[in-house]
Structure 1
Amino acid sequence: MKRLKMASAVLAAAALLLAATGCDSGDSETAGDSGQSSSGGKQITIGYINWDEDVAVTHLWRKVLQDRGYDVKIQQVGDAGPTYIGLSKGDIDLFFDGWLPATHATYWKQYGAQLTDVATWYDSAPLTIAVPNYVTDVKSLADLKSHASEFDSTITGIEPGAGETGVVKKMMKAYGLSDWKLQTSSTSGMLSALEKATKAKKPIVVDLWRPHWAYTAYPIHDLTDPKGAMGKPDGIHAIGTGSFATDFPEVDAMVKKFHMSDDQLGSLEQDVLVENKENPDKGVATWLAANPDFEKSLA
């Protein structure tokens, strides 16, 4: 579900927001200082953002770890800044959607010394700008400027604090789109706008990333980037607390073996976010039944 950073003032605000409001919780209880749940099981907290790959993979790992006797709490966090802050403070043990080395570079520079880069589970994840296939006269980012009226000089984006938002703003300057509007809201808001536009066959420009199930669900294509303004593809990393390997040696070893192909991640997102969006755990069960060797590969 590939994103640059906010200034230190915004990060400080994010820290205050996290402290004040906390995060939406999953099914299990909050871990105590010992890392044990009230039932005596091994407890771990996985933080996630409402980015599609993060939602799908977090729910997958909750099931995988529950099968190994862990009491797993998942916490939804509003954006990348609070997630890295939560990891640095130990409020979150693990996060599966770190985009490195570029998109989350600012967060890593600020908090990386207090964190662990556990593993890269997806090798090449580019940030993208996409339009519907029926917009046949726009093939490149360089084409957007001359089609401003067609798109109402607007790019529909995701969360304002997402790393990709900063990348898109730089891209807009590089292609002379400074008078355009980057309309930020949320990933779900962007996808809703994309669905509405494609159903009505209306022009729209959205910021996306690969892998994403939207490329299967909607008739869209990426615009080429002759200036390379969107940057090189990142890897998607699992990020843990600074003491993650010591606190969770079994999980650390498992995550180091974790890797997903395009087909695996695409089918997982389809099962969890499209076919079973009201019951993601059912989607995970469906996916695991179709991929019986996955859990064995982590042993």
Structure 2
Amino acid sequence: MHKIATAVFALALTTTAAQAADPDAQCSAVKLADPGWSDIASTNAVARLLLEGLGYQVKIDSLAVPIIYGGLKDGRVDAFLGNWMPAQQGFHDKFIANGDVQRLSRNLEGTEFTLAVPDYVWNAGVKDFADLQKHADQFDKKLYGIGSGAPANLSLKEIIDKNEFDLGQWKLVESSEQAMLAQVDRAVKKQKFIAFLGWTPHPMNVKLKMHYLTGGEKWFGSKGEVFTLTRKGYSQACPNAAKVLANLSFTLDMENAIMAEVVDKKISFDEAAKAWVKQHPERLQGWLSGVTTKADGNALEAVKAKL
């Protein structure tokens, strides 16, 4: 009987030790996702700077938006800083509303995301979605979107499929953000008509003379917000790392500045984010409030030492 009790006690100790090690194994690497958008590359870079300064490893996978949501549901992605609303309302209804994916915090407000046109197209009278069909031949009946599966593309497809604004014969051209903007640049140089997905924050708002069309509020909203999402139970499993992510909030000016630095100086997003934080160290206080290093040390000192 004594031997059995001893064996049970030893097994309990082993089980307890394994359970105690689980949170560390689960939380030491923070898995983020990037759909290939410059704004999310910027915010991910800030998150990486803070988390690595605190002793975490950060892994960022480039994934299409639907794959990101599936990864959050399945636990293969820990967090996503790019839940643009209301553009991603469909994904919200499918994954967040039922609790499969959890909304952690709002990280940005005042965004815009809808069709845009260059200034010379705007001056020619294209100021609303309803104006597009009036100039169908000049546009070659094409709308230029971003990567396949992006929520904004799905909204444009719905508009076309339902013949909203008499656009039923138009075609959506899907490509990467960079390829779409390269197409816009080519059109602008030739002063050709083009309608494309635009959003702020993004350097395009500085680089291009552009205007956002009205009329698409049903699908894109007016002013929007961006939220940070996590896999279900992440805040309970990894409270310190989750607290960092929950604290992260940004401004349009900040994100535009980081992205412009990348474009103008041909540097990485990590380098641009680090340079911005070095110039604005006062932001660290709020971002690291209630946070420690992974080893339970002083968070502010640890991150400052990495700058």
**Which residue is 2:12 aligned to?**
none
Q: Distance in 2 between matches of 1:226 and 1:243?
A: 36
**Which residue is 2:174 aligned to?**
184
Q: In the alignment, is the contact (CA less than 8 A) between 2:261 and 2:267 conserved in 1?
A: no
Q: Distance in 1 between matches of 2:148 and 2:268?
A: 28
Taking the TM superposition and a 5 Å limit, the aligned residue runs for 1:235-250 are: 235-250=225-240
Q: In the alignment, is the contact (CA less than 8 A) between 2:141 and 2:169 conserved in 1?
A: yes
Q: What letter is aligned with 1:80?
A: V
Q: Deviations over 1:29-50 (max 9, x none)?
A: xxx965539xxx9221111110
Q: Distance in 2 between matches of 1:143 and 1:184?
A: 22
Structure 1 stretch displaced more, 283-292 or 58-67: 283-292
In the TM superposition, residue 248 of structure 1 has moved relative to its aligned partner by: 2.1
**Which residue is 1:159 aligned to?**
147
Please say if 1:253 is aligned against 2:243: yes
Taking the TM superposition and a 5 Å limit, the aligned residue runs for 1:31-180 are: 35-36=24-25, 42-77=28-63, 79-100=64-85, 102-112=86-96, 113-135=99-121, 136-137=123-124, 138-172=126-160, 173-180=163-170
In the TM superposition, residue 190 of structure 1 has moved relative to its aligned partner by: 0.8
Q: Distance in 1 between matches of 2:159 and 2:24?
A: 44
Moved over 4 A (4+): 32-35, 226-229
In the TM superposition, residue 185 of structure 1 has moved relative to its aligned partner by: 1.7
In the TM superposition, residue 210 of structure 1 has moved relative to its aligned partner by: 2.3
Q: In the alignment, is the contact (CA less than 8 A) between 2:23 and 2:238 conserved in 1?
A: no
Q: Deviations over 1:153-206 (max 9, x none)?
A: 111111220100122233443211111111112222111111222233322110
Q: In the alignment, is the contact (CA less than 8 A) between 2:47 and 2:245 conserved in 1?
A: no
Query: Partner of 1:69: helix, strand, or coil?
Result: coil
**Which residue is 2:275 aligned to?**
286
Q: Deviations over 1:6-29 (max 9, x none)?
A: xxxxxxxxxxxxxxxxxxxxxxxx
Q: Distance in 2 between matches of 1:296 and 1:270?
A: 25
Which TM-score applies when normalising by structure 2?
Answer: 0.78
Query: Partner of 2:60: helix, strand, or coil?
Result: strand
Q: In the alignment, is the contact (CA less than 8 A) between 1:168 and 1:207 conserved in 2?
A: no
**Which residue is 1:20 aligned to?**
none
Q: Distance in 1 between matches of 2:102 and 2:109?
A: 18
1:201 aligned residue (160, 173, 191): 191
> Unpaired segments of 5 or more residues in structure 1?
1-31
Q: Distance in 2 between matches of 1:171 and 1:152?
A: 17
Query: Partner of 1:123: helix, strand, or coil?
Result: strand
Q: In the alignment, is the contact (CA less than 8 A) between 2:87 and 2:219 conserved in 1?
A: no
Q: Distance in 1 between matches of 2:251 and 2:235?
A: 25
**Which residue is 1:262 aligned to?**
252
Query: Partner of 2:120: helix, strand, or coil?
Result: coil
Q: Distance in 2 between matches of 1:265 and 1:139?
A: 27
Which TM-score applies when normalising by structure 1?
Answer: 0.80
**Identity over aligned residues, as a percent?**
24
**Greater Rg over alpha carbons, structure:** 2
Q: Deviations over 1:200-238 (max 9, x none)?
A: 332211012222221111121112227745334432111
Q: In the alignment, is the contact (CA less than 8 A) between 1:271 and 1:286 conserved in 2?
A: no
Q: Distance in 2 between matches of 1:99 and 1:229?
A: 13
The RMSD of aligned alpha carbons is 2.2
Q: Distance in 2 between matches of 1:284 and 1:196?
A: 29
**What is the aligned residue count?**
262
> Unpaired segments of 5 or more residues in structure 2?
1-20, 289-307
Change (3 A) 1:106 1:215: same
Query: Partner of 1:201: helix, strand, or coil?
Result: coil
